[in-house]
Amino acid sequence: MGKKLIFLDIDGTLTEPGANIPPQSAIEAIRKAQAAGNLVFLCTGRNYAMLKPLLRYEFDGMVAGAGGYVTCGDEVLFDCPMEDEQTQTALEALHKNGVFCTLETKEVTYGDENLGDFLSGQAEGNSEIERWRKALSSELNIHPMSEYDGAPAYKIVIMCLRMEQLDEARALLEKDFNFVLQDIPAHGCINGELINRKYDKGRGVQRVAEYLGVPLSDTYGFGDSMNDLEMIRTVGTSVCMANGSESLKKESDLICPAVSEDGLYQAFEQLGLF
């Protein structure tokens, strides 16, 4: 039996949203899968800086920045930041319309200084919002936007109260960027991210599989939110966490227990990955 490639989203899948320590059962599942000859990759919207605390768990590579930075072992397979002009156009149009932003370069994440005040009034339950709420309180080390030094950016995360606040940015950028929005709660904010149309998590999976000569039928993807959609549609076997998006569940082959209920271990075992 050939080796399998396993791709794991982080927030809401491998860890509780915004956290950097997976459940012990998930670490055990990863170790067992690797011991069985399979390879396990992070497949995340996080940039390299924000996923770095998880590298101590010895993954075999990463699809980072929602597909903008892809590695296998020590090899960089793909590296595609935004053009400087695109970054400036996006930030100007979003800020002009009162949209709160975080900007991700490879090594640093920058956030609007008043984002914490905005988030403190939002409802619980959205994994992306929970991630940023925790990040701003310490764990992910977000720097003030005023410190942004012009380094190449891979992604902009957006939060606002009304969809029309995005209209100007969409008119300027939607030809080059996909505005990936999370399922909108009945009460709460709109949140999502601008993803370059040159890549996505699914194409990141393809790049790794092609590099290793592994058919997509032998790939497995685990996610929880709509920014995992392309990965879920690309892999041979797709799994959504029970704590995940209802829309993503409809797209997935399997629903496993929540991250907090040893879901990854149970799914790995059910799928024969160790």
Per-residue pLDDT tens digits for 242-253: 999 999 999 999
Beta-strand pair 153-160/177-181? unpaired
For position 240, what pLDDT does the model report?
A: 98
More confident residue, 116 or 266: 266
For position 134, what pLDDT does the model report?
A: 59
For position 19, what pLDDT does the model report?
A: 86
Mean pLDDT, rounded, for 25-54: 95
- Average pLDDT across the chain, whole number: 90
Mean pLDDT, rounded, for 191-219: 96
pTM: 0.85
Which is nearest to 225 in space by CA: 5, 7, 13? 13
Percent of the chain with pLDDT over 90: 74
User: d(Cα 172, Cα 142) in Å, to the nearest integer?
Assistant: 27
Confidence class of residue 147 from pLDDT cuts 50, 70 and 90? very high
Secondary structure (H, E, C), the chain: CCCCEEEECCECCCECCCCCCCCHHHHHHHHHHHHCCCEEEEECCCCHHHHHHHHHHCCCEEEEHHHCEEEECCEEEEECCCCHHHHHHHHHHHHHCCCEEEEEECCCEEECCCHHHHHHCCCCCCHHHHHHHHHHHCCCCEEEHHHCCCCCEEEEEEEECCHHHHHHHHHHHCCCEEEEECCCCCCCCEEEEEEECCCCHHHHHHHHHHHHCCCHHHEEEEECCHHHHHHHHHCCEEEEECCCCHHHHHHCCEEECCHHHCHHHHHHHHCCCC
Asked if residue 52 lies in contact with residue 65, where contact means CB atoms within 8 angstroms, the answer is no
> pLDDT, tens digit, for every residue of 166-179?
999 999 999 999 99
> pLDDT, tens digit, for every residue of 208-256?
999 999 999 999 999 998 889 999 999 999 999 999 999 999 999 999 9
Which is nearest to 150 in space by CA: 84, 207, 236, 102? 84
User: d(Cα 142, Cα 64) in Å, to the nearest integer?
Assistant: 17
Mean pLDDT, rounded, for 127-156: 74
List of residues 6+ apart from 64 with CB closer than 8 A: 42, 44, 46, 47, 48, 51, 70, 71
Give me 246's structure tokens: 């209802």
For position 191, what pLDDT does the model report?
A: 83
For position 181, what pLDDT does the model report?
A: 84
More confident residue, 15 or 192: 15
For position 87, what pLDDT does the model report?
A: 97
> pLDDT, tens digit, for every residue of 55-107?
999 999 999 999 999 999 999 999 999 999 999 999 999 999 989 899 999 99
> pLDDT, tens digit, for every residue of 122-139?
555 555 555 555 555 454
Percent of the chain with pLDDT over 70: 88
Give me 144's structure tokens: 């003030």
How many Cα atoms are found within 13 Å in the side-chain-facing hemisphere of 129?
21
Instruction: Say which residue the tokens 């793909």 belong to.
Output: 78
User: d(Cα 34, Cα 140) in Å, to the nearest integer?
Assistant: 27
For position 272, what pLDDT does the model report?
A: 97
